[in-house]
Amino acid sequence: MPLVGVIMGSKSDWEYMKEAVDILKSFGVSYEVKVVSAHRTPEFMVEYAKTARSRGIEVIIAGAGGAAHLPGMTASLTTLPVIGVPIPSKNLNGLDSLLSIVQMPYGVPVATVAIGGAKNAALLAIRILSIKYKDLEEKLNKFMEDMRNDVLSTSLQA
């Protein structure tokens, strides 16, 4: 049963959202991936969000671009944590996506990452899951240690 639901407004978002899936895979976290659109498939979005918790999903990562209503609308239909990924858009470089996702009204939180920040969305989902799954805490410690060593071992030619 998947723990993370990765959803996106269009298959055109996949080039960005794939990065979240790659991180989940590298941590051995189970996931499902679906195209769900608040605009184009509103009934499916309602069904997806309302059944997610009972199907065993614990965190939802939702990516959308432009008038990015999917993350907020999903958060309005479930009590699960929703992490929003603003997808870089063609005309406004994702600033529209960012503002659509981040400015949620009180009562319906969406944890918004940077424009195109799908990798951090996955890492945040894993941090949330690590409260319950101790093996993930260990893997996160290792990930951070590797990152630290990588930076500290960098030598630049002056």
Which is nearest to 70 in space by CA: 59, 86, 57? 86
Judged by CB under 6 A, the residue of 29, 69, 113, 123 near ligand C2R is: 69
Which residues from 99-138 bind ligand C2R, rule CB under 6 A? none
Q: How many other C-beta atoms can be found within 10 angstroms of the C-beta atom of residue 12?
A: 12
* Residue 13 among known ligand-binding residues: yes
> How far apart, in whole angstroms, are the C-alpha atoms of residue 61 and residue 125?
8
Interface segment toward ligand C2R; rule CB under 6 A; list 63-71, 78-86, 103-111, 132-140:
63-71
How many chain residues touch ligand C2R (CB under 6 A)?
A: 17
CB neighbours of residue 10 within 10 Å: 18
Given 64, 98, 124, 136, the residue binding ligand C2R (CB under 6 A)? 64
Q: What is the closest distance, in whole angstroms, from the C-beta atom of residue 16 to ligand C2R in the complex?
A: 9
Q: How far is the CB of 82 from ligand C2R (least distance, A)?
A: 12
Distance of closest approach, residue 147 Cβ to ligand C2R, in angstroms:
29
* Among the residue ranges 32-40, 53-61, 116-124, 145-153, the one whose residues contact ligand C2R (CB under 6 A): 32-40
Phi/psi region, residue 95 (left: phi>0; alpha: psi -120 to 50; beta: rest), is alpha
The three-state (H, E, C) secondary structure of 117-157, written as one string = CHHHHHHHHHHHHCCCCHHHHHHHHHHHHHHHHHHHCCCCC
Q: Residue 10, annotated ligand binder? A: yes
Torsion of CA 40, 8, 44, 26, to 10 degrees: 160
Known binding residues for substrate are 10, 13, 40
Residues that bind ligand C2R (CB under 6 A): 8-10, 12-13, 37-40, 64-70, 87
